[in-house]
Amino acid sequence: MSEQAPGREVHRRQKLEALRARGVDPFGTRYPVTHWAGPLAARLGGAGEDELKGFGPVCVAGRIVSMRHHGKTCFAHLQDYTGRIQLYARADQLGDDFAHFTDIDLGDFVGVTGDMLRTRTGELTIAVKSFTFLGKSLRPLPEKWHGLKDVETRYRRRYVDLIVNPASRAVFLLRSRLIKAIREFLDARGFLEVETPMMQPIPGGAAARPFVTHHNALDVDLYLRIAPELYLKRLVVAGYDRVYELNRTFRNEGMSTQHNPEFTMLEFYQAYADVGDLMELTETLLLHLAQTLLGRTRMTYQEHELDLTPPWRRLPFFAGLAQALGAEVGPETPARRLRELGAARGVELAAAAERWEAWPELFESLVEPTLVQPTFVVDFPVELSPLSKRKRDDPRLVDRFELFVAQGEIANAYTELNDPIEQRER
């Protein structure tokens, strides 16, 4: 926030008292909104003058985020949860209320009634006929031209970020549409959405450190779930052949822009299918989301230009390692040889590192940074996949994939090991 905020806050409090002195409630009441900024702009974006004149009065409400004074006229932008729209106020229309309108601070909430017009620059605008004060903002917003740039502040005070950064608002709205589209996609294919326990007696389904809480009535420690996996599998055992959960998961580990201690995860299970079916479903799902929400299969993410056009690349785990290390490697390659190859590529492994400890470290260091376009990494060694079924043609490997996009893993799936005897042996 601005360093001048304390002094500006005093000035805003003085305005608040002036509102009360005029008999205006500074914190508003009900306002009969008839239109929202985004849909209004979409509906009338290409409208001509006659259509705008015949459209009739509109009532909008939101936060004032910009204001420009021009003597006896004033332009402002009102922002609601759908977008922004320009306001045009005139002294000869508002009379004494014009001075009150121009006294509005950035961040204040108002309700506005007016008619639609288009300015000489072509911007869709509401000509203000009357307005109602709905809420006084006692703290100033970040400056218009500098905005909220500090990453730490943006993450800790997300509500401020959403007010002043349109890009953050767009992501927030897109995420909501994304969640809805995922549900619709799975529901249409016969999957049943379920909710499983958030507090669990045994934290299972992933290798992660859990948050611990205490159940006073039972006098036992419980754990916030690190994955819904075990309970979803029980539902499959119970006869629900296609289930999914889209909900919160908690892991008491690192925290950064890439790792959150609580996050939303989709997990689904499908009986009578294998890893090939899951790859096809995952590819179809993400392609559907891109086409539905963005209208295209090409997009920019951070510094990467991505193309989701199928089919996506299939990369065997050891083939990726061999390519990165410049030598043939496989499940039987000795740990010493892996350490030598890693050192030649700048990856120093612990002297006592076993093969199954070297594999993921080498892969994460050398292969993952090259996986920009959608890539299914397949044929993992059995040592890294204790819950996956072995491949029929090579029992050293399992039917599992990890999906990488833009150098990051976004999905993990496998044909479930359903042999309880082998599971116990592993």
Pairing of strands 109-118, 124-135: antiparallel
Our CA dihedral for 310, 302, 372, 331, rounded to 10 degrees, sits at -130
* CA distance linking residue 272 with residue 270, whole number of Å: 7
Where helices occur in 206-354 by DSSP H, the ranges are: 229-237, 275-293, 317-325, 335-344
What stretch(es) of the chain map to CATH 3.30.930.10?
A: 165-272, 286-425
Q: Are 117 and 127 in contact (CB under 8 A)?
A: yes
* CA distance linking residue 231 with residue 209, whole number of Å: 19
pLDDT recorded at residue 147: 59
pLDDT tens track for 392-423: 999 999 999 999 999 999 999 999 999 999 88
pLDDT tens track for 219-262: 999 999 999 999 999 999 999 999 999 999 999 988 876 788 99
Q: How confident is the model at residue 3 (pLDDT cuts 50, 70, 90)?
A: very low
Q: Enter the CATH code of domain 286-425.
A: 3.30.930.10
CA 116 to chain centre: 35
* CA distance linking residue 129 with residue 123, whole number of Å: 18
pLDDT recorded at residue 324: 97
What stretch(es) of the chain map to CATH 2.40.50.140?
A: 6-151
* CATH 2.40.50.140 correct for 6-151: yes
Q: Tell me the pLDDT of the chain averaged across its residues.
A: 93
pLDDT tens track for 135-182: 999 988 876 545 577 777 787 888 888 888 888 889 999 999 999 999
> Which residues, listed in sequence order, are joined to residue 58 by a DSSP beta bridge?
114
Q: Does the structure show a pLDDT above 60 at 364?
A: yes
Q: How confident is the model at residue 204 (pLDDT cuts 50, 70, 90)?
A: confident
Fold of 165-272: BirA Bifunctional Protein; domain 2 (3.30.930)
pTM score > 0.85 for this model?
Answer: yes
